[in-house]
Chain A
Amino acid sequence: MSGPRVEGPVVVIGGGPAGMAAARAAARHGVRVLLVDSGAALGGQYHRQNSLAGRDRFALPPGVGHLPHTVVWALEPVPEGGHRVHLHTGPADGPGRTARSVATRALVLATGAYDRALPFPGWDLPGVYTAGAAQALAKGQGVRVGERVLVAGTGPFLLPVAASLTAAGAGVAGVLEAAEPVTAWLRRPADAVAGWRKSGELAGYGALLARHRIPYRRRTAVVAAHGTDRVEAVTTARLTSGWEIVPGSERRVEADAVCVGFGFVPQVETALAAGCALDGGFVAVDAAQATSVPGVFAAGELTGVGGAGPAAAEGEVAGVAAAKLLGARPAPPAAALRRVRAGRGFAAALARAYPVPDGWRTWLADDTLVCRCEEVPYGELRRAVREREALGVRAVKLVSRAGLGQCQGRVCGPNVACLTGLADAAAFARRPIASPVRLGELAEPPADPEPGT
């Protein structure tokens, strides 16, 4: 590797398509990289590897250190510039993990996103899963979540989930799409063309549904799950364009599992801990993937949901920009920049084609849990907010207890914001401790301040 001597390392948080691409791009320009990921193997959620297979599909170039089984639990600005990243490595949620902290002037956040789940009566019964859970269990563990499964929600992700369930041997009783995506796409032909490669993929899923005789219904949703200790049946219903139930359209369907996904929520806690500005709930970035905070870059689903291809392109741009910040002299990554631009258009078109209108509120009963962790029912949330005049996220959390449980509002935050009229849903993700830490671990001094040095 020729060129000027550069300092390092670039720290990349997240080992999915964006994080891997960022690590590779920075390493190509002679910069040391430390890639931190909570998973056992690289690939993230999109390329989820089967952990029973014992092989690794992905390799990173020399110069990249990979810390698997590692979570970032805090991020601290350093007065001279840059950040100190506090890490725990070891068995998930176990005591006695190895504590480390590493300082960096170039931080790439590629923490991805997770399924948005909307509440409905019975959604807390075992046997209700997010679409991502079904995917992770099928691809990562070879486990099917049920014998007769309904897949419901909105967005193209429902289709690969149905495919993975089928591959794992589950019977998929139907894919219910709450939106009317065909007309939504046709309204914006240019963006539909931008996503034509994606459409090719969609045609493949269409063939799969046909082959397995899996019905695909539009403007339809699972609006209730029934059972005592697990799901035994669900109620499906036709929806209006605003997602209210069309009266009389309810049908009871036998099922032992239901998988729901209503788009994705970006995992922004480390970005918020760094002080990055958001735009519409996503991390705001410029053409070099730089956030509003100097030395912090963001790539992938954090900046908008467009899938693995655009995420990897953003990662490459972020990795090159991070290397440049540390003294490398890279040429502009022209091809990746073009792919990022196309990806932005596709992500925006996706967001327009699969919106989540407020009508889902009408699926809820007074005793439907809104916050699963603190077991806060909808009626109680409304009463708490009305009687105590809670106006901000903190006040809503304190008067209702929604968002104060184990998941810290990761699941209920966007829904509670919608139900109570809060503008700043992302405020639920503002938490000083980014991932769970045992008190005993906090009390111990870091063992190895700089890994690899």
Chain B
Amino acid sequence: MRVDGEELVTEAGRTVAGLLLALGRVSWRTTRGGGRPRGVFCGIGVCHDCLVVVNGAADVRACQRLVRDGDDIRSQDGAELPA
């Protein structure tokens, strides 16, 4: 899969959040209002802080989404609208 354009290989069963944290990243989204960095907070799908863009679809909870072959994952900048 790709993370912000960089090609990577990871094991099956990784969540997007698990992958990004294992890569040493703690944030991958900015807030809509203040443009502040956010990453995982609740880790179980409740808080929606860890939103990320997967295959062009914004607002995907990184802690809930399992990585699949060929996924294109990228950081989310504020409130992104569907292209």
Contacts and interface: CB of A to CB of B under 8 A. Distances in A.
User: A and B from one assembly?
Assistant: yes
Interface of A: 38, 40, 45, 50-54, 91-95, 114-115, 117, 124, 126-130, 132-137, 140-143, 145, 229-230, 267, 372-375, 405-407, 410-411, 436, 438
B14 interface: yes
Contacts of A141: 14-15, 17-18, 21-22
A41 B38 CA distance: 27
A379 to B, nearest CB: 15
Contacts of A375: 31-34, 36
Given A114-B42, A372-B49, 6 more contacts: A52-B14, A54-B13, A117-B42, A128-B41, A141-B17, A141-B18
B48 A373 contact: yes
Contacts of A128: 41
Given A52-B11, A115-B42, A137-B40, A411 B34 contact: no
Interface string B9-51: 0011111011001100011000111101111111111111101
B13 A230 contact: no
Identify which of B33, B37, B42, B54 gathers the most chain A CB atoms within 10 Å of its CB.
B42
**Max count, chain A CB within 10 A of own CB: residue among B13, B51, B57:** B13
A94 B60 contact: yes
15 contacts: A92-B65, A94-B54, A114-B42, A124-B38, A126-B39, A129-B41, A129-B43, A135-B43, A141-B22, A229-B37, A372-B38, A372-B41, A375-B32, A407-B49, A410-B46
A137 B44 CA distance: 9
Contact of A130 (B32, B37, B41, B48): B41
A40 B65 CA distance: 10
A124 B37 CA distance: 9
B73 interface: no
Residue from the set B31, B33, B41, B64 with the largest chain A CB neighbour count within 10 Å:
B41
Contacts of A45: 44
A22 B20 CA distance: 36
Nearest to B28: A126
Interface of B: 11-15, 17-18, 21-22, 26-27, 31-34, 36-49, 51, 54-55, 57, 59-61, 63-66, 68
Contact of B36 (A124, A129, A374, A406): A124
A137 B18 contact: yes
Dominant secondary structure at the A interface: loop
B43 A134 contact: yes
Contacts of A436: 48, 59
Contacts of B27: 126, 229-230
A88 to B, nearest CB: 12
B59 A92 contact: no
Contacts of A143: 18, 21-22
B38 A126 contact: yes
- Nearest first, the 9 closest Cβ-Cβ pairs linking A and B are A133-B43, A141-B18, A92-B64, A406-B48, A51-B13, A126-B27, A375-B33, A126-B26, A136-B43
B66 to A, nearest CB: 6
B10 to A, nearest CB: 10
B37 A126 contact: yes
Contacts of B51: 406
Nearest to A112: B44
Nearest to A410: B46
Contacts of A126: 26-27, 37-39
Contacts of A407: 46-49
Contact of A93 (B13, B38, B61): B61
B83 to A, nearest CB: 12
Nearest to A124: B36
Contact of A53 (B13, B18, B57): B13
A224 B42 CA distance: 18
A230 B44 contact: no
Given A40-B66, A132-B42, A132-B43, A95 B57 contact: yes
Nearest to B33: A375
Contacts of B48: 373, 405-407, 436
A44 B65 CA distance: 16
Contacts of A136: 43-44, 63
Contacts of B68: 91
Given A53-B13, A140-B15, A92 B38 contact: no
Contacts of B65: 91-94
A37 to B, nearest CB: 12
A282 to B, nearest CB: 17
A372 B47 CA distance: 9
